[in-house]
Homo-oligomer: A and B are copies of this chain.
Amino acid sequence: MALIVQKYGGTSVGSPERIKNVVRRVAKYKALGHQLIVVVSAMSGETNRLIGLAKEMQAQPDPRELDMVVSTGEQVTVGLVSMGLIQEGLKAKSYTGAQVKIITDSAFTKARILSIDEQNIRADLANGYVVVVAGFQGVDKEGNITTLGRGGSDTTGVAIAAALHADECQIYTDVDGVYTTDPRMVPEARRLKTITFEEMLEMASLGSKVLQIRAVEFAGKYRVKLRVLSSFAEEGDGTLITFEEDDKMEQAIISGIAFNRDEAKITVRGVPDKPGIAYQILGPVSEANVDVDMIIQNVGVDGSTDFSFTVHRNEFDKAIDILKNKVQNHIGAQNVVGDNKTAKVSVVGVGMRSHVGIASKMFRTLAEEGINIQMISTSEIKISVVIDEKYLELAVRVLHKAFDLDLESA
């Protein structure tokens, strides 16, 4: 007998019919003798409907009141799921985040979980109940309802699994696991049986939208065994996300090719090479709530250097504007140039720590196709390059093949 947390996203509970599919799956696991906690999102479309209502009242809805409204989405789902389970003859009980006592800070619309009271849930499980918990929400110390921000239901699932020391946290989505790259771009992409947390973090933050990055961080921190599965496929083991690098011994050096099409590149040229410059450039950008991804600064020549970074394409104009009007003259830079027709491609794998030559193989593969590399950034387990957007598909395909990701034995 295992204690399993199952998390179902909005698409998986998008209609009473789909909820009945979830109910059948839960009942199947319950019949095997497992203890089950089910974490659910709002029915797909519901959160947007509620935000729409809110925006009719206030163009920028008050954050506390927005959480009050939006949190009802998951509350409806937990009730419906419990009804379905009870209809199937199971004992079931639903909980809002506040009822569990998922205590968060008071950062409405993007709260962070501080603690989870597992007592009630544990008592219910011991009494044979399937416990159904509203994802995405909690309550602050003053009793105000909070939400964790988009995708927060994954985090709820992982946090509850951590608090109750669950044997496994299963995340059900509309894909059946984590792939070596996007199968829509490379038909030869394979599902990975396992991937390490570090790799998953890199894959998630690089644009593989399977899991919310916060949930992965949380799972890594609290050593929650995480599995990504399809809620639409009857069978399949999905992808298990492991802490143990040992599990990967027999596996490939590279786990996958991640990419991000929405990357825009900005360079501030002729920057005086002195302390504090990076902050003077990026401070105004981040104050304007523009997220910065890659940051590169090369060794300076003659007291001057070039400073480059990437932002989301939608924020390219805004960032350029800030730099030209607020930064360039202020710091005495030569000029600001940019390109919003770029994309980022990364090879990810814990194996590259102990294997030299990954970078050179990547660069050679791209060079053989005539693809110019505009920026390079590396971490312990990934190498990212920025290239012209028009070469993105080609780059992903040739790298996927070069690192043998299309081979079953890989």
**Smallest CB-CB separation from A82: which chain B residue?**
B65
Within 8 A of B (CB), among A65-123: 65-66, 68-69, 71-72, 75-76, 78-80, 82-84, 86-87, 92-94, 96, 98-99
- The 8 Å CB contact of A62, one of B68, B72, B76, B82, is B82
**Minimum CB distance partner of A61 in chain B:** B83
- Out of B20, B56, B62, name the residue touching A86 (CB < 8 Å): B62
A69:B62 contact, CB within 8 angstroms:
no
Prevailing SS type, chain A contact patch: helix
Known A58-B87, A84-B58, A143-B99; judge A65-B53 contact (CB<8 A): no
* Pairwise interchain contact A16-B69, C-beta atoms closer than 8 A: no
A54 within 8 A of B: yes
Query: B79 touching A68 by the CB < 8 A rule?
Result: yes
Asked if A258 is an interface residue, CB under 8 A from chain B, the answer is: no
Contact A68 B53, CB 8 Å, known A87-B58, A99-B143:
no
Copies in the complex: 2
Interface residues in A1-46 by Cβ distance below 8 A to B read 16, 19-20
- Of all chain B residues, which has the CB nearest A75? B72
Q: Given A62-B86, A65-B86, decide whether A54 and B79 contact each other with a Cβ distance below 8 A.
A: yes
A50 at interface, CB cutoff 8 A: yes
Q: Does A84 contact B72, Cβ atoms closer than 8 Å?
A: no
> Is A214's beta carbon under 8 Å from chain B?
no
Q: Given that A53-B76, A69-B76, A75-B72 are contacting pairs, would A83 and B62 also be in contact in the complex, using a CB cutoff of 8 Å?
A: yes
Are A58 and B78 in touch, CB under 8 angstroms?
no
Shortest CB-to-CB span from A103 to chain B, Å, is: 14
In the assembled complex, A312 has its CB within 8 A of some CB on chain B: no
Q: Is the CB of A76 within 8 A of B50?
A: yes
Contact present for B69 and A57 (CB under 8 Å): no
- Bound Cα distance from A68 to B340, whole angstroms: 48
| A80 and B99 contacting across the interface, CB-CB below 8 Å | no
Known: A16-B57, A72-B72. A94 touches B65 (CB 8 A): yes
Chain B: which residue is nearest A100 at the CB level? B143
The reply to whether B72 and A57 contact each other, CB–CB distance below 8 Å, is: no
B69 touches A53 (CB 8 A): no
Q: Are A80 and B69 in contact (CB under 8 A)?
A: yes
- Please determine whether A57 and B87 come into contact, CB atoms closer than 8 angstroms: yes
In the assembled complex, A64 has its CB within 8 A of some CB on chain B: yes
Give A145 to B57 CA distance when docked, in angstroms.
27
B69 near A75 (CB under 8 angstroms)?
A: yes
* Residues in chain B near residue A79, CB distance under 8 A: 54, 65-66, 68-69
How far does the Cβ of A55 sit from chain B's closest Cβ, in whole Å?
Answer: 9
Contacts of A56 in B (CB 8 A): 16
- Closest-by-CB residue of B relative to A72 is B72
Tell whether, in the assembled complex, residue A54 and residue B80 are in contact, meaning their CB atoms are under 8 Å apart: yes
Q: B residues within 8 A CB of A98?
A: 98
Interface centre among A16, A68, A99 (most CB of B within 10 A): A68
* Contact indicator A80/B94 (Cβ below 8 Å): no
* B99 pairs with A83, CB closer than 8 A: no
Whether the pair B84, A57 counts as a contact (CB closer than 8 A) is yes
Does A68 lie within 8 Å of B94, measured CB to CB? yes
Give the docked Cα–Cα distance between A96 and B137 (Å).
15
Q: How far is the CA of A96 from the CA of B57 in the complex (A)?
A: 19
Give Cα A68 to B75, complex, Å: 7
Residues of B within 8 A of A20 (CB): 57
A57 and B56 CA atoms in complex are apart in Å by: 31
Known pairs A58-B83, A65-B79, A87-B58; A53 contacts B16 (CB<8 A): yes
Q: Interface on A for B, CB 8 Å cutoff?
A: 16, 19-20, 50, 53-54, 56-58, 61-62, 64-66, 68-69, 71-72, 75-76, 78-80, 82-84, 86-87, 92-94, 96, 98-99, 143-145
12 contacts between A and B (CB under 8 A): A50-B76, A54-B83, A62-B83, A65-B79, A65-B82, A65-B94, A69-B76, A69-B80, A72-B76, A75-B75, A99-B143, A99-B145
